[in-house]
């Protein structure tokens, strides 16, 4: 006579307990993974900020060593032109990224040239009261197909529409109080970093007050990273 071997399964209470435990683990682990990923994106931006800051300082030292119209004075590089509605073309296609950064991922970084964008209130001559700015956009999920600035909408020729985790690095040469006093423009520079507000638009504006030690930043939705903010201060 054969006996059937009974096979015990999970009870409903046991299944509910397992589901509760899995839910708790998911609630704890998923936010941690998200935080770690976001931290990695910001770390990449911090590294690029440091590279660009070091490079513009090196360019100023080089200018002082070679002399030129400004004599043997440190003057900082100014961007050229404005990124058009059809994106950077020809020699303006990420030209500063190519010159200043030895190795960058062109699928994640895109350069915007903004003519007469930074209010350089200490400019000693009228032509330099506004300076050309450069914005380096970081798109960890791929460069957006469209980027909006106060100069208009730019078609990048890329395909991504992912608006998450975008950052902006802003650079512009500026004139210090000492530079204004001595008639030497662009003897300093301003840099700042912003976390985009998930709309893919570069929105901050800047107002440098004459004889002030800093610049007024209006975020307009984007969020400035406070410890990634630099302005050269030189006084007579």
Interval 89-114 mean pLDDT: 83
| pTM (predicted TM-score) | 0.81
C-alpha dihedral sign at 42, 149, 100, 122: negative
Alpha carbon distance 114, 15 (integer Å): 60
What per-residue confidence (pLDDT) applies to 209?
A: 78
Q: Examine the pLDDT at 234 and tell me if it is beyond 60.
A: yes
**Amino acid 91: pLDDT:** 47
Residue 220 CA neighbour count, 13 Å, CB half: 13
Q: What is the mean pLDDT of residues 158-165?
A: 93
144/141 Cα distance (integer angstroms): 9
Alpha carbon distance 76, 64 (integer Å): 10
Q: Which residue did the predictor score with more confidence, 49 or 124? A: 49
Question: What is the spatial distance between Cα 113 and Cα 111, in angstroms, rounded to a whole number?
Answer: 7
**What does the alpha-carbon distance between residue 49 and residue 171 come to, in Å, rounded to a whole number?**
10
6-15, 16-25, 210-219, 222-231, range with greatest mean pLDDT: 222-231
- Note the pLDDT tens digit of each residue in 4-13: 555 556 677 7
Q: In the predicted model, is pLDDT for residue 23 greater than 50?
A: yes
| Contacts with 70 (C-beta within 8 Å, 6 or more apart), sequence order | 63, 184
Task: Name the pLDDT band for 93 (thresholds 50, 70, 90).
Answer: low
Share the mean pLDDT of the chain: 83
Q: Which residue has the tokens 């030497």?
A: 184
Beta strands in 139-197 (DSSP E): 146-149, 152-155, 167-174, 188-195
Its sign, for the CA torsion 102, 63, 234, 173, is negative
Q: How many CB atoms lie within 10 A of CB 140?
A: 20
Please give the distance of CA 214 from its chain centroid, rounded to a whole number: 19
- Dihedral sign for Cα 108, 143, 133, 228, please: negative
Q: Is the pLDDT of residue 99 over 60?
A: yes
| Between residues 129 and 205, the one the model is more confident about | 205
CA atoms within 13 A on the CB side of 42: 16
Which tens digit of pLDDT belongs to each residue from 108-153?
999 988 888 898 888 877 767 888 999 999 999 999 998 988 878 8
Residue 3, pLDDT score: 53
User: Would you say 199 and 149 are in contact if contact means Cβ atoms under 8 Å apart?
Assistant: no
Res. 90 pLDDT band, cuts 50 70 90 = very low
What is the rounded CA–CA span in Å between residue 160 and residue 58?
Answer: 34
Residue 5 burial class via C-beta count within 10 angstroms: exposed 0-12, middle 13-18, buried 19 and up = exposed
190: pLDDT strictly greater than 90: yes
């Amino acid at each position: 006579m054969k006996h059937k071997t009974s096979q015990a399964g999970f009870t409903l209470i046991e299944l509910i307990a397992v589901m509760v435990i899995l839910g708790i683990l998911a609630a704890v682990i998923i936010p941690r993974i998200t935080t770690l990923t976001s931290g990695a994106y910001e770390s990449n931006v911090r590294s690029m900020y440091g590279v660009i800051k070091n490079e513009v300082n090196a360019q100023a030292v080089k200018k002082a060593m070679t002399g030129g119209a400004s004599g043997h004075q440190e003057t900082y590089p100014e961007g050229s032109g404005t990124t058009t509605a059809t994106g950077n073309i020809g020699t303006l296609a990420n030209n500063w990224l190519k010159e200043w950064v030895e190795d960058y991922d062109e699928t994640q970084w895109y350069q915007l040239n903004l003519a007469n964008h930074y209010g350089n209130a200490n400019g000693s001559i009228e032509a330099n009261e506004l300076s050309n700015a450069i914005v380096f956009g970081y798109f960890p999920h791929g460069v957006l197909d469209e980027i909006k600035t106060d100069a208009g909408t730019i078609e990048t020729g890329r395909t991504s529409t992912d608006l998450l985790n975008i950052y902006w690095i802003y650079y512009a040469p500026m004139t210090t109080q000492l530079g204004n006093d001595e008639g030497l423009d662009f003897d300093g520079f301003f840099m700042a970093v912003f976390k985009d507000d998930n709309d893919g638009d570069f929105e901050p504006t800047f107002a440098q007050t004459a004889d002030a030690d800093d610049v007024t930043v209006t975020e307009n939705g984007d969020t400035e990273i406070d410890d990634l903010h630099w302005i050269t201060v030189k006084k007579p």
